Chains A and B, each alone.
Chain A
Amino acid sequence: KAGVTQTPRYLIKTRGQQVTLSCSPISGHRSVSWYQQTPGQGLQFLFEYFSETQRNKGNFPGRFSGRQFSNSRSEMNVSTLELGDSALYLCASFKGGGNTEAFFGQGTRLTVV
């Protein structure tokens, strides 16, 4: 059974550009969450999607957006990149149910120069 797949693994962008990151959850999982991980702030929740609907959103500016498709794959977009957006972006997939655990991808390392 394939795990959570995040693409690309590494990305270098210039300030002001935009970027799209992709996450394919485990087959059969309907929920996807995104986290930003930085040395200074740790793991910060970005958004959560369940059956194509955004269920929760973290405290990030509007430059951060996301969506989920009918096949449960999710994308997140960051527009007008800033140096501070450099981080590891992790995607987590959930099967559903009360005590479900998160299965994480290996992340996308974004560097903004």
Chain B
Amino acid sequence: AQTVTQSQPEMSVQEAETVTLSCTYDTSESDYYLFWYKQPPSRQMILVIRQEAYKQQNATENRFSVNFQKAAKSFSLKISDSQLGDAAMYFCAYRRPQGTYKYIFGTGTRLKVLA
């Protein structure tokens, strides 16, 4: 069975600084998708970034980038130039590529952005 682990329950970052959120996962499959979702106080989960396991290049979306280390089964999220609006719960998630849209989520990291 696949598992996703986020070892940082809470992180803080100064506005305009950079922060990295950690995620590790365990799977015996070679192909899969990894995601970072953001859940602000409004409760709605919003996709931050997505990575296909077969792609070696790390995904980037504006100020958000990942460090995907397939052999180490690590998928960290880097937020550059942090903004107050980045404050939220961040969830790392795993999904198999076929046959299901079931996500396996980590326990989340609460990110606080300090002005």
Given contacts A42-B107, A99-B50, contact A105 B44 (CB under 8 A): yes
Contact-residue bracket for chain A: 20 to 34
Chain B, range 59-108, C-beta contacts under 8 Å to A: 91, 97-108
* Chain B proximity of A96: nearest CB distance (Å): 9
Q: 8 Å CB contacts to B: which residues of A10-53? A: 31, 33, 35, 42-43, 45, 48, 50
Interchain nearest-CB distance for B75 vs A (Å): 15
User: Within 8 Å CB of B103, what residues of A?
Assistant: 33, 35, 43, 45, 92, 102
Given contacts A88-B43, A99-B33, contact A48 B102 (CB under 8 A): yes
The answer to whether B52 has its CB under 8 Å from any CB of chain A is yes
Q: Smallest CB-CB separation from A100: which chain B residue?
A: B101
Q: Give the secondary structure class of B's interface.
A: loop
B47 touches A (CB below 8 Å): yes
Alpha-carbon distance between A26 and B106 when the two chains are bound, in angstroms: 25
- Checking A56, A88, A99, A104 against B102 with a beta-carbon cut-off of 8 angstroms, the contacting residue is A56
Task: Report B64 CB to chain A, min CB distance, Å.
Answer: 14
Tell me the count of chain B residues lying within 8 A, CB to CB, of chain A.
24
Residues B45 and A55 in contact, CB atoms below 8 Å apart: no
- Among A31, A43, A50, the residue within 8 A (CB) of B91 is A43
Q: Is A90 a contact of B45 with CB atoms below 8 Å?
A: yes
The one of A43, A102, A109 in contact with B101, judged by C-beta atoms closer than 8 angstroms, is A102
Considering only CB atoms, which chain B residue lies closest to A50 in the complex?
A: B101
Chain B residues close to A by CB (< 8 Å): 33, 35, 37, 42-47, 50, 52, 91, 97-108
A-B contact pairs, 12 of them (CB 8 A): A43-B103, A45-B103, A48-B100, A56-B100, A88-B43, A99-B52, A100-B101, A101-B50, A102-B37, A102-B45, A106-B42, A106-B43
